Amino acid sequence: MKSKSVIYFLMLFLIGGISSSYADDFSDAILKAKKDFKSANDKSDQDGMIKARGEFERILQLKKNQWLVDYYLADVDFALSYVVMQSNDKDNIKKYTESSLQLLDKSTDMKDDFAEAYILKMAVNGNRWMYEPDKMNDILAKTNEATDKAKKLEPDNPRFYVISGMNLYYTPETFGGGASAAQPLFEKAYELFQNRKEKDDTYPSWGYDLSAGMLAMCYIKQDKLDDAKKYIDKGLEIDPESGFILNVVKKDYDDKIKK
């Protein structure tokens, strides 16, 4: 009887060890792929992004939290759509945008309470107007649907306010958008990020530097360059390698200073 108990507890120990190792393999792989993707994204390095995408695809073989891996694959495709946007390559803009949306649908089908996927949908849907402007009503409906779902699930998620702000920032002022209208949303995001703690390190963690950078962009638009510089500096304190701050915001700031 005693030997059976020993075997039973030994089996539990071994199974627990295997599960722990399995979880560690997954977490380590996600963290490495996240790091590689961020590094490539900061440099707008298309080849690096594609390599990072391959890392996420290989993680799917572990068959763990596939909804999360699909989210990251969608995030990479969304970033790739912005890279090809620079050359106005509408075929590839469509390819990467549609792939991103399909992956996000898969993610929410598996885990319909995953707010991050709906937040990313809010952003990705906006790409569609570049290749199907005749479907603007559907684009707005899908964006609003994702917005409502994300806000219901996580009303204090700062990334929700970053994307809401960006959607408003790039809306013409005649339709109620622009920098002044978007600024309170970026302020809300920046404030929420200061106390934000993700569920674990494998979860999405982007956006803090983006909130600071977009506040700087708002101040640049208003010719408040001292305030803009303050948020550029804050953004670089948050992330010294931020491609958005270094390559977009700082360029706009420097151009404005020269005028």
Right CATH number for 1-144 from 2.60.40, 1.25.40, 1.10.260, 1.10.1060?
Answer: 1.25.40
**Residues 243, 213: Cα–Cα separation, whole Å:** 10
Per-residue pLDDT of 93-152, as tens digits, reads 999 999 999 999 999 999 999 999 999 999 999 999 999 999 999 999 999 999 999 999
Domain limits, the chain: 1-144, 156-259
**CA–CA distance, 104 with 148 (Å, rounded to integer):** 16
Quick one: fold of 156-259? 1.25.40
Q: What angle do CA 46, 48, 50 make, to 5 degrees?
A: 70
- Dump pLDDT digits (tens) for 185-231: 999 999 999 999 999 999 999 999 999 999 999 999 999 999 999 99
Give the CB-side neighbour count of residue 2, counting CA atoms within 13 A.
0
Same fold for the pair 1-144 and 156-259:
yes
Tokens 């420097």 appear where? 254
Query: Hey, what are 12's tokens?
Result: 């539990």
Token pair 């989210």 is at which residue?
A: 71
